[in-house]
């Protein structure tokens, strides 16, 4: 079967991998000249279904809990399974209790246990929550590695490509916010990348705040990604001064060493979302649409890709299940 996938973000590439490894003839086309710049490129890469349940539906936990295994199988050595640490400043410990009431799969930590997990944070926080089953990856390395693997198993990737003349049996739209559907809205996420050798962290840390909860994700070469705002608009312009100051202030609150860090990058990604903030897989004849992954791209893309691949390759129950899970 020949499948044409439009969009080389995480939704398109995970579907391409799922189809190609099952024997389909896959072509991925992308309007951009490179992968950099799309919403997936700006993502945090946290595979954190239990934490995300704090503000998401149960289906996000159900569909996302297998994501780390999928990524580990697809790209060995890319997934870091060190869990997620959730903290709050002393004045906001009520936020920590609220977060715990809305989630599961964690154990409570005292000051000594926090220090044992992250020595750099010793004596800085009295209480925390540890979600041991969660994981993370570097989205940019994962996207590039997924492209390399796809090319290695015979799939085609065409960048800077608009019109396609080749015929296909199925066409899948994974173009995200570029798909101008009236019910689809943009949610702007802003992020910073800092570099400092003065602090080392082994896992993502979420620092709770009543207005803007922020996560900090360690990456290689002494880099840390800090994000992300959730602004209800589809403007893709540069990060605002206000957001920059807020993200930096949260990083400094986590550890003063970030006050001397290098500001390597400031980025913006516009995530596509439906009114219920849940993704959809929809089919009309030979055309399929996958969209609305919101802030859960790397977390939910594997499950969505499996469902869409089942639909494309002939699982008779796949369409009903894919739609029912996201109503």
The β-bridge partners of 225 are: 193, 217
Inform me whether the pLDDT recorded for 230 exceeds 90.
Answer: no
Q: Return the half-sphere exposure (C-beta side, CA atoms, 13 A cut-off) of residue 74.
A: 32
CATH class of 84-132+185-273: alpha beta
Amino acid 318: pLDDT: 55
80 DSSP 8-state letter? B
Fold of the CATH domain 2-64+137-180+276-324: FAD/NAD(P)-binding domain (3.50.50)
The residue-averaged pLDDT of 190-212 equals 92
Residue 183 or 74, more confident: 74
Task: Name the residue among 198, 275, 257, 271 with its Cα closest to residue 229.
Answer: 271
CATH 3.50.50.60 domain residues, the chain? 2-64+137-180+276-324
Residue 166 or 244, more confident: 244
Inform me whether the pLDDT recorded for 326 exceeds 50.
Answer: no
Inform me whether the pLDDT recorded for 316 exceeds 80.
Answer: no
> pTM value?
0.93
Amino acid 3: pLDDT: 97
Q: How far is it, in rounded angstroms, from Cα 296 to Cα 26? A: 24
What end-to-end distance do the CA atoms of the chain give, in Å? Answer: 29
How many other β-carbons are positioned within 10 Å of the β-carbon of residue 217? 26
Inform me whether the pLDDT recorded for 16 exceeds 50.
Answer: yes
The residue-averaged pLDDT of 88-107 equals 94
CATH 3.30.9.10 domain residues, the chain? 84-132+185-273
Question: Do residues 203 and 80 lie in contact, with contact meaning Cβ atoms separated by under 8 Å?
Answer: yes
Amino acid 327: pLDDT: 40
């Amino acid at each position: 079967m020949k499948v044409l996938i439009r969009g080389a973000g995480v939704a398109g590439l995970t579907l391409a991998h799922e189809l190609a490894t099952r024997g389909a003839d896959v072509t991925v086309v992308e309007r951009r000249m490179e992968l950099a710049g799309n919403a997936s490129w700006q993502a945090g890469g946290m595979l954190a279904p239990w934490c995300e349940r704090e503000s998401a539906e149960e289906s996000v936990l159900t569909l996302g809990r297998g994501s780390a295994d999928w990524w580990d199988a697809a790209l060995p050595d890319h997934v870091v399974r060190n869990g997620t640490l959730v903290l709050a400043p002393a004045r906001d410990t009520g936020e920590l209790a609220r977060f715990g009431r809305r989630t599961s799969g964690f154990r409570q930590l005292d000051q000594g246990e926090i220090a044992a997990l992250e020595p750099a944070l010793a004596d800085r926080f009295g209480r925390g929550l540890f979600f041991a089953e969660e994981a993370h990856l570097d989205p940019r390395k994962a996207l590039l590695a997924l492209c390399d693997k796809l090319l290695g198993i015979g799939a085609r990737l065409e960048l800077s490509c608009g019109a396609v003349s080749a015929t296909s049996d199925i066409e899948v739209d994974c173009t995200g916010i570029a798909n101008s559907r009236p019910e689809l809205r943009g949610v702007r996420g802003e992020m910073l990348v800092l570099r400092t050798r003065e602090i080392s962290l082994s896992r993502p840390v979420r620092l709770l705040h009543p207005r803007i909860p922020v996560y900090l994700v360690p990456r290689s070469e002494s880099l840390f990604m800090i994000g992300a705002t959730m602004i209800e608009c589809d403007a893709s312009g540069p990060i605002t001064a206000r957001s920059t100051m807020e993200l930096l202030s949260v990083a400094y609150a986590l550890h003063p060493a970030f006050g001397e860090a290098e500001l390597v990058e400031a980025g913006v990604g516009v995530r596509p979302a439906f009114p219920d903030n849940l993704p959809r897989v929809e089919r009309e004849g030979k055309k399929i649409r996958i969209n609305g992954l919101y802030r859960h791209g790397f977390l939910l893309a594997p499950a969505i890709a499996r469902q869409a691949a089942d639909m494309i390759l002939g699982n008779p129950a796949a369409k009903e299940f894919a739609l029912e899970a996201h109503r």
